[in-house]
Amino acid sequence: MGVREIEVFRVVMTTGSTSKAAHMLGVSQPAVSQAIRKLETGAGLQLFQRIRGRLVPTQEAHALMIEVDQFFVGFEAIEHRLKSLSQYGTGRLSIAVHPALGNAFMPRALAAHDLESRDIRVSLRILSSREVHQQVSTGQCDFGLMADEMPVHGLEHSAFMDTPGVMVMAPSHALANKDRIEPLDLENVDFLALNPEDSSRRRLEAALLGSCVKPKIRVETPYAHTICEMATHGMGIGFVNPIAAVDYLGRGLAIRPFALDVPFSSILLFRPNNPLSDTARQLIRRMRIQLEKDLRRLQRAISAVDAGPGARFSTPEHH
Could you report the per-residue pLDDT of 209-262, keeping only the tens digit for each? 988 899 999 999 999 999 999 999 999 999 999 999 999 998 889 999 999 999
Overall number of domains in the chain = 3
pLDDT at 256: 96
Residues 253 and 282 in one domain: no
Residue 114: is it exposed, middle or buried by C-beta count within 10 angstroms (0-12/13-18/19+)? Answer: exposed
pLDDT at 88: 44
pLDDT at 292: 96
Q: Which long-range contacts (CB under 8 A, 24 or more apart) does 79-87 make?
A: 80/140, 81/139
Q: CB neighbours of 81 closer than 8 A, spacing ≥ 6? A: 139
pLDDT at 117: 86
Residues 176 and 208 in one domain: yes
Residues 251 and 273 in one domain: no
Phi, psi of 279 (to 5 degrees): -60, -45
| Paired residues of 319 in beta bridges | none
Look up the domain containing 48 and give its range.
Answer: 3-57
* Global model pTM greater than 0.75: no
Given a cut of 70, the residues of the chain with pLDDT beneath it are 1-2, 72-91, 306-319
Give residue 13's identity as a one-letter amino acid code.
M
Three-state SS sequence of 214-253? CCEEEEEECCHHHHHHHHHCCCCEEEECHHHHHCCCCCCC
Q: What's 145's domain CATH number?
A: 3.40.190.10
